[in-house]
Chain A
Amino acid sequence: MKLPYDLPDASGHFGPYGGVFVAETLIAALDELKLAYEDARRDPAFVAELEYDLKYYVGRPSPIYHAKRWSDALGGAQIYLKREDLNHTGAHKVNNCVGQAMLARRMGKPRVIAETGAGQHGVAAATVAARYGMKCVVYMGSEDIRRQASNVYRMKLLGADVVPVESGSKTLKDALNEAMRDWVTNVSDTFYIIGTVAGPHPYPMMVRDFQAVIGRESIEQMRELCGRQPDAVIACVGGGSNAIGIFHPYIPCPDVRLIGVEAAGDGIATGRHAASLSAGRPGILHGNRTYLLQDDDGQIIETHSISAGLDYPGVGPEHAWLKDSGRAEYVSIDDAEALEAFHALCHFEGIIPALESSHAAAYAARLAPTLGKDRILLVNLSGRGDKDMHTVAEKSGLSF
């Protein structure tokens, strides 16, 4: 059975969420982008080139792997991993960057900008900018620059300028503010590559479309591997791009549970977390209406998570809609549980997952033992954990 699903509407709304909440100064740029994207997605030459680069540059399709030893150890449902960690640059972020960089080139914009938190999207943007011969500027909070020195160096090696952002909390949300300011100032020659399914329309839709290759491949691969689709698809949610990427093709399939896993940080009750869907309320930030972590006055509050990639006070508006409509469930996993799953995957499967993806893995580990051995859970392993060595070592009382 398939249910119809065609959001967002023409003005970029997912029910009450999404939209275009930006100053007039950005409207023309967004309109230009919307038209260019509509044109590109219908152009077979664009689609073919995108597929070519995803295959030969990114290394797609990424495999689905049966984590059998880990599943046996958990004693319940079979866990399968969609290996986005095996992509070039080590995470799903590059899928979107390839698409947007190709669009930038098509629009005749020689300069791309990006925001980054942990540096994964910044690295992916710098990578494709090098690949397509574009100038690249990455905005990054000065606090994050301090914490993620090796990714900063990677971006510089790839030829990007990394601009420290000193305003606000000096983290991802401030980097996004700063990138928007650059865009509004330099819009004639600059393309803004947003890294997640947030921002004003058409970004949540466009980034989703570029990431949906994850889910499309999964549907085919699960059919081949298991002869059927999984009982649940599980993905971590910060801004929510890897989750939407794997969820989207499954939305019309009501027999497949969709489970988004947010970062509970020190625990939801402590207030030190990044779980906007689980513990926030709707509001407007970064150009769209969605669930936000905010104080009683509507000021955005700082988030906390062991994984910098989930450290964002908002979430993509489509997730807000999937939550309210009941089509997807959203749960949370704290730092300690995520670390436990991180070590379990290292131990049982010889896979070092990103701390972000470890949140999804942790929820699978919680769910699997409650289900029969014939059940199937598909976890989006959105990135590899090499970037997290320092954080994990520190938690174990070690340092390099």
Chain B
Amino acid sequence: MSRIQSVFERLRGEGRKALIPFITAGDPSLSLTIPLMRALVDAGADIIELGVPFSDPMADGPTIQRASERALANGVNLRRVFEAVAEFRKQDGDTPVVLMGYANPIESLGIDAFIADAVEVGVDGVLVVDYPPEECGEFAARLRAEAIDPIFLLAPTSTQERIARVAAQARGYVYYVSLKGVTGSASLDVESVAARIPEIRAATGLPVGVGFGIRDAQTAKALASVADAVIVGSRIIEEIERSMPTDVVPRVRALVAELRDGVDAAGSLR
């Protein structure tokens, strides 16, 4: 059983939902990435999505693009990301780490090298935003063969046929994009999200995480009551932007702890 699967098994047993925070590796600095990852875990993260920066993050909003730009300015590349995961793994053998990014840096490194390194440092899942299932069959199969979960996006506009196509490739969980737009967008309609989730869960047999536009404990709670996991990215990046290097770790920890309370408030209702 993969680390991601065990997390969802355990939470199911406890009647709780998962909280999956996102940060970009190397934002605001490489030296703060490990302390930030640890703070996410301390504050109640079940899985960490670690962003791999790309110069042209087409599916992301301005907040995550800025995080990417800061990370690139700090010299972050996939090697550095793998080093960070390896370092984190020395202290934490349990918390799954999912790399999230775009195809070009991965293909530039080479798919063989990427997968070998991901296995070696203990990466648990990979979400390549611009690899829809029809363009990455071989890549996803190779990941699965190495017991790394290929994570896929589903959108409000995804048809049943597409959900089935994703289901055939995906492992770990699926990431349901809660709205039409890019990461960090403003409005989110919990009811329309709730309406889609049972169908996705049934078709994929996987836990469904919901992300894009979750900005506070209240929304986290509302979504946690309908989904299996709540994914928060832009709001955490904003907190990083508002902080000084000296207080960024405690501030992010406090924010994630609030989101955790929101998620748990929903879990206990069920």
Given A20-B132, A284-B103, A299-B54, CB of A181 within 8 Å of CB of B157? no
Do B59 and A287 touch (CB < 8 A)? Answer: no
Q: CA of A296 to CA of B107 in the docked complex: distance in angstroms?
A: 11
Given A284-B103, A284-B104, CB of A28 within 8 Å of CB of B155? yes
Question: Shortest Cβ distance from A284 into chain B, in angstroms?
Answer: 4
A27 within 8 A of B: yes
B106 within 8 A of A: yes
Question: Shortest Cβ distance from A180 into chain B, in angstroms?
Answer: 5
Do B69 and A20 touch (CB < 8 A)? Answer: no
Q: Which of A27, A168, A186 contacts B55 (CB 8 A)?
A: A168
Given A11-B134, A24-B132, A287-B130, CB of A294 within 8 Å of CB of B59? no
Given A181-B61, A299-B105, CB of A25 within 8 Å of CB of B153? yes
Q: CA of A11 to CA of B136 in the docked complex: distance in angstroms?
A: 13
> How many residues on B have C-beta within 8 angstroms of the other chain's C-beta atoms?
42
Please report whether the interface of chain A is mostly helix, strand, loop or mixed according to DSSP.
Answer: mixed
Question: Shortest Cβ distance from A269 into chain B, in angstroms?
Answer: 22
B254 within 8 A of A: no
B222 within 8 A of A: no
Given A167-B62, A181-B61, A185-B181, CB of A299 within 8 Å of CB of B72? yes
Do A297 and B180 touch (CB < 8 A)? Answer: no
Do A21 and B132 touch (CB < 8 A)? Answer: yes
Do A168 and B135 touch (CB < 8 A)? Answer: no
A 1-46 contacts with B by CB, 8 A:
11, 19-29
Do B130 and A284 touch (CB < 8 A)? Answer: yes
B95 within 8 A of A: no
Contacts of B57 in A (CB 8 A): 177
> Per-position contact with B for A266-303: 1 when CB-CB < 8 Å, else 0?
00000000000000000111110000101011111100
Q: CA of A24 to CA of B177 in the docked complex: distance in angstroms?
A: 9
Closest to B75 in A: A297
Given A24-B162, A184-B180, CB of A283 within 8 Å of CB of B58? no
Number of contacts between A and B (CB, 8 Å)? 122
B 93-132 contacts with A by CB, 8 A:
102-109, 129-132
Contacts of A188 in B (CB 8 A): 180
Do B157 and A297 touch (CB < 8 A)? Answer: no
> Per-position contact with A for B153-166: 1 when CB-CB < 8 Å, else 0?
11101110010001
Q: Which of B58, B131, B152 contacts A177 (CB 8 A)?
A: B58
Contacts of B77 in A (CB 8 A): 297, 299
| Interface pairs A-B: 6 shortest CB-CB | A298-B108, A28-B157, A23-B59, A298-B105, A297-B77, A24-B153
Chain A residues packing against B (C-beta within 8 Å):
11, 19-29, 167-168, 173-174, 177, 180-181, 184-188, 283-287, 292, 294, 296-301
14 contacts between A and B (CB under 8 A): A21-B131, A24-B132, A26-B59, A28-B159, A174-B56, A187-B157, A188-B180, A294-B108, A296-B108, A297-B108, A298-B108, A299-B72, A299-B104, A300-B56
Beyond known contacts A177-B57, A284-B107, A298-B54: 17 more, CB 8 A cutoff: A21-B131, A23-B129, A24-B153, A24-B158, A25-B157, A25-B182, A27-B162, A29-B157, A167-B69, A181-B181, A187-B180, A283-B108, A284-B103, A285-B56, A294-B104, A300-B56, A301-B55
